[in-house]
Amino acid sequence: MFTGIVTDIGEIVGFTPTAQGQLHRLRIACSYDQSTIADGASIACNGVCLTVVASGVAGDKTWFDVDAAAETLALTTAKHWKVGTRLNLERALKIGDELGGHIVAGHADGIATLVSREDLPDMARFELSTTRELARFIATKGSITLDGVSLTVNTVKDVTFSVLIIPHTLDVTTIGSWKAGSEVNIEVDLMARYAARLTEMTV
Burial environment of residue 64 by CB neighbours within 10 A (0 to 12, 13 to 18, 19 or more): buried
Helix (H, G, I), strand (E, B) or coil at 191: helix
Q: Is-catalytic flag, 69? A: yes
> Of the residues 15, 107, 139, 160, which is catalytic?
107
Between CA 106 and CA 104 the distance in angstroms is 6
pLDDT 10s per residue in the chain (203 long)? 899 999 999 999 999 988 777 899 999 999 999 999 999 999 999 999 999 999 999 999 999 999 999 999 999 999 999 999 999 999 998 777 777 778 898 999 999 999 999 999 889 999 999 999 999 999 999 999 999 999 999 999 999 999 999 999 999 999 999 999 999 999 998 877 777 767 776 65
> Of the residues 19, 152, 155, 196, which is catalytic?
152
Write out the DSSP string of 20-36: TTTEEEEEEEESS-GGG
> Of the residues 30, 45, 49, 78, which is catalytic?
49
